[in-house]
Structure 1
Amino acid sequence: MELRQLEHFVAVAQECHFTRAAKRLHIAQSGLSASIRSLERELGAPLFLRSTRQVQLTPAGQALLGEALRALSASNAAKDAVAAVQGLLRGRLSIGSLQCLHAVHVPTLLAGFLSEHPGLEIQLRQGGSDELIELVRTGRLDVAFVSKPGSGRCPDDVVIQALDREPLALACALDHPLAGNGQVKLADLAEEQFVDFPADWGTRDLADRVLTAAGIERRVALEVTDVHSLLDLVAYGLGVALVPRSYSVKTDRVRFIELAGEVPAWETVSVTTDPTSAAAAALLREVDRVKAAAG
């Protein structure tokens, strides 16, 4: 059994499709299929249930997946250890991030990091917190910057490190009846229509929990996948939103109002696997340095 075969197997398992896996690996589909067949012959068991639309793991494939991910992680860790002795960081670092990360400005972070480690290839993906955490857990990402998961929503096999916390605020149109208030109570939002992100986004999860705890069953009429669209919809009076206070620097067309009472803060975290790759660990050290320099 070769590491190359395990890489091929993991790609097919994660993509659930041979063609997509072959494109991801930059190899011919025929070569990928031959590699998987060879691995199946060696193990004496089929690893996938194949159909014209997708492939699914067999019980044997499910058993192999965890071990394959651990073997590949150990192999990468060995390469990282040798590179660290030489004072080098090489290879690829795959990063996931929320669109708006108050703790650190991602473009500035990556520009500085790459100037120090020009041998690295950086890949960046934006998405919702649940999606990005799962991509870290399954080895598709090395590190992700996400909202802190709610209780019971974080896998046991990832490592979480706190980044930042900030209060939520109410975002409403400038001519909204609540716009002149210095503070707003959650109870005042019972009849409001909301704009928000999809259900697997961390700020949506927090807003849901905050309002449910206050006994409010809200209506999310409009869902968007980017911050600026959300704020535009709020500005035109199509709904209100509970958002991190730092969003207030993005527009002067929306009123941001402090929430009264004890309201849970929005917390951001980094997520990695154990062991953490040398490149991901170096990036997290750079995050700590940037935060410390910013005071």
Structure 2
Amino acid sequence: MELRQLDYFVAVAEEGSFTKGARRVRVAQSAVSATVQKLERELGVPLFAREAGGVALTDAGTALLPEARALLSAERRARDTVDQVRGGLRGTVRMGTLVMIGVRPASRGLLVVDLPQVLGRFHVTHPLVRFQLRTARRGSAGHLSALLAGDLDLALVGTVDRPDGIRLHRLGGVRLSLVCPRRHRLADASSVSLADLADETWVDFPRLWGNRAMTDRAFAAAGVPRAVPFEAADQDTVLGLVRNGLGVALLPRAGVDDEEVAVVDVDDGDLELPVSIALPSDREPSAATAALLTSILRAAGRPVSRHR
């Protein structure tokens, strides 16, 4: 069994198809298929059930996946350790990012931390460190699962929950406000309550996203029903739907710069989303990961504690 075989196996398993898995590891699909088939022959069991719409893990594949992830993670840590001896900070940092938390164009304001600026300065200081950035296709919940599985080293998350096995370093919080069309009945209000929003049609982010989970929880706690027929995975689409009168939304005030919508404070409900850097608590970060964490904490004006 070779690490390359496990790498291809994990990529196919996580992407759900040989095509997407091959794209992720930047190898021809035929080579990925042949390598996985060789691994299956060596193990004597099929790891995937090949289906028309993609692949699904067999029982053997499901059992192998966490072990394969652990071996690949150990291999990366071993390489990083040797790299430190060779001089200079080296290694690869796999980081999850969020589409709605971070830096906006100048007119839209800074929300929590200017991550591109942090990474740019870090690269100047530590040019031998490589980054792999992944967006949150399944929101913060997806990043937390990837951290626990050993598929990410750290992640920027917006979450009100902290699963077992995760350590959170809070960077700040983002307060959500009501965003509605200018012609909406509440557009000129100084503030609103959750009860005022009982009959609204909502545009929101997918269910696994931290801000959606927080919003659903706030309305449930207030006993206010909420219909969410529109979901979007980026803020510009949410704003477009609101602007065209299809619903209202809850968004960070600093992220909205649109003359066709109004932004109104919500004076009740717990609607401040904690934004944090998450790391797995059951393993020590590499030297490169620890250094990047320190840079992010300093940029956000947060205390830097011992995190190795």
Distance (whole Å) between structure 1 residues aligned to residue 269 and residue 31 of structure 2: 59
Q: What amino acid maps onto 2:289 in structure 1?
A: A
Distance (whole Å) between structure 2 residues aligned to residue 242 and residue 97 of structure 1: 20
Distance (whole Å) between structure 2 residues aligned to residue 116 and residue 4 of structure 1: 31
Contact 1:76 1:277 in 2 (8 A): no
- 1:180 maps to which residue? 188
**Matching of residues 1-295 of structure 1 within 5 Å:** 1-101=1-101, 102-127=111-136, 128-150=139-161, 155-248=163-256, 250-273=257-280, 274-275=282-283, 276-292=285-301
* Consecutive aligned runs of 4 or more in structure 1 exceeding 4 Å deviation: none
Relative to the length of structure 2, the TM-score reads 0.81
Q: What amino acid maps onto 1:131 in structure 2?
A: G
Deviations 1:41-100 (A, max 9, x none): 443433233345433222222222111111111111122223334453444433322223
Contact 2:70 2:150 in 1 (8 A): no
Evaluate the alpha carbon distance shift between residue 21 and residue 242 of structure 1 in structure 2; reply closer, same or farther with a 3 A threshold.
closer
Percent identity reads: 43
Q: What amino acid maps onto 1:231 in structure 2?
A: L
Deviations 1:186-236 (A, max 9, x none): 111112222222222222221111112111112224322221232343344
CA RMSD of aligned residues (A): 2.8
- Which range moves more in the overlay, 284-293 or 253-262? 253-262
Contact 2:84 2:90 in 1 (8 A): no
Deviations 1:127-150 (A, max 9, x none): 322333334444443322121154
Q: What amino acid maps onto 2:127 in structure 1?
A: P
- Which range moves more in the overlay, 169-178 or 73-82? 169-178
Deviations 1:10-33 (A, max 9, x none): 222223333332333233444434
Evaluate the alpha carbon distance shift between residue 44 and residue 237 of structure 1 in structure 2; reply closer, same or farther with a 3 A threshold.
closer
Aligned residues: 290
- 2:105 maps to which residue? none
Contact 1:77 1:278 in 2 (8 A): no
Evaluate the alpha carbon distance shift between residue 290 and residue 177 of structure 1 in structure 2; reply closer, same or farther with a 3 A threshold.
same
Q: What amino acid maps onto 1:48 in structure 2?
A: F
Gaps of 5+ in 2: 102-110, 303-308
Distance (whole Å) between structure 2 residues aligned to residue 104 and residue 44 of structure 1: 50
Distance (whole Å) between structure 1 residues aligned to residue 178 and residue 237 of structure 2: 16
Gaps of 5+ in 1: none
Q: CA deviation at 1:262?
A: 4.9
